[in-house]
Amino acid sequence: MIESTSSTEKKTCPHMGQIFQPFVNPQLDDPYSFYKQARSEEAIFHSPVLNGYVVTRYADILTVLKDPVCYSSADNLKPIVRYSPEVIDVLRQGFPFVSDLVNSDGDQHKRLRAPFLKAFAPEKLQAMENSIRAIANRLVDSFVNDGHVDIIARFAYPLPLETILTMYGVPLDRMADIKQWCQDMTALFSSPLAPDQQLNCARSFVNLQNMVAGLIQERRQMPCHDLISDIQDSDLSLNELVIVLCGLIVAGHKTTSHLISNGLKVLLEQPERWQSLCDNSALIPTAIEEILRYDAPVPAMIRTTTQDVSLSGIALPKGTQLFLMYGSANRDEAQYSDSDRFELERFKQTTSNHLAFGHGVHHCIGSNLARREGRIALEVLASRLSNLRLRPNQEFARIPALMNRGFTHLEVEWDIE
């Protein structure tokens, strides 16, 4: 519902916008203290850093997500910095940017999404259960006798990446390259990069596109039992398939990787939490939902107004870019009691209503795969490393990206039996 707007409605208080610095500490490490202040003092504010309005309250964000007509997803992958001419020249060597699952609207979004629904259908995911568990156990086998590990590099990252590459039918000897390309692709869109870094990341994005295009062409000649073969009968163009499949590779593993590592950090900070899961694995699905709420791996998304609107009394002209802070919404005290407290069994009796995977027509298509991978990851670790703990005296560094929240590394240790 669009409210009438007037020039007197627009608030001009610049306070929160001036102190909003999401890419550097202390807000990079702990954005939640800032969000709490913003929800109280200026819940919607203009950010010079992002050149758009930041929305922090659960109710306001839900209002936007429920109205995809007035709030478009078209700019969801718009880079947060301007590309240099050299970067644009590199990107032109790949495939032109066309609509993806996350930056399309209306019938176009339905058309792009439809071919992939069967790949993420419940029966498909159930059939992958044993395969995912086998990958998780094999990864643990590779370090279980060491007594310590960077759990991101050796487990949280390769588990979902190998899973999605297996779905695609990609040879696993390409994993190292694809990991780097995906990291660079994410940085290209959502991190403030220097020109030389932009250039390197643009080359990685083109390399990823070319690899995916090669897979599509191979499957057209010789179909296999994999996701790329299954979508060959769609009406999507080669260009559209390349862009969507590249996006799904990134989304299909980074979200889960951050879910696992963010979860382990908060669980191991208080050993009794981890012990509870080791003693009762039935708590793990509930724990996954609270991890998603408490420290969302996708903490923000972008929408753009398609007409003049008013949101909580703030006049927003047509074409205004909104940064929806899911991480803030999930800590909104108006929505959750003791919102800054991690409660292992918060969602035991109620259905989770957090926004970690969005809401409405753009609800993450791979959310159930991410939940399944996260559950299996914790089940395997809890059963095999019951005395797992954070390695002392380490620094926890966050990745400086707006739409991904995770650690660069996470050192853990355990007693070797």
Residue-wise pLDDT for 243-270, tens only, equals 999 988 888 788 999 999 999 999 999 9
Locate the domains of the chain by residue range.
15-413
Tokens of 217: 């062409």
Lowest mean pLDDT among 69-83, 233-247, 269-283, 323-337: 69-83
Lowest mean pLDDT among 19-28, 52-61, 227-236, 371-380: 227-236
**CATH class name, domain 15-413:** mainly alpha
Burial class (CB in 10 A: 0-12, 13-18, 19+), 389: middle
Lowest mean pLDDT among 4-13, 186-195, 298-307: 4-13
Beta strand spans in 62-156 (E): 71-72, 148-150
Question: What confidence tier does 29 reach under pLDDT thresholds 50, 70, 90?
Answer: very high
- pTM of the full predicted structure? 0.90
For residue 268, the surrounding DSSP H or E stretch is helix 238-269
Residue-wise pLDDT tens digits, 160-199: 999 999 998 888 888 889 889 988 888 888 787 888 899 9
Tell me which residue of 414, 410, 375, 405 sits closest to 394, measured CA to CA. 410
The count of other CB atoms within 10 Å of the CB of residue 15 is 12
Tokens of 254: 């980074």
DSSP state of 97: P
Give one word for 293, left, alpha or beta, with left for phi > 0 and alpha for psi -120 to 50.
alpha
Whether residue 364 has pLDDT greater than 50: yes
Residue-wise pLDDT tens digits, 196-223: 899 999 999 999 999 999 999 999 999 8
Burial class (CB in 10 A: 0-12, 13-18, 19+), 76: buried
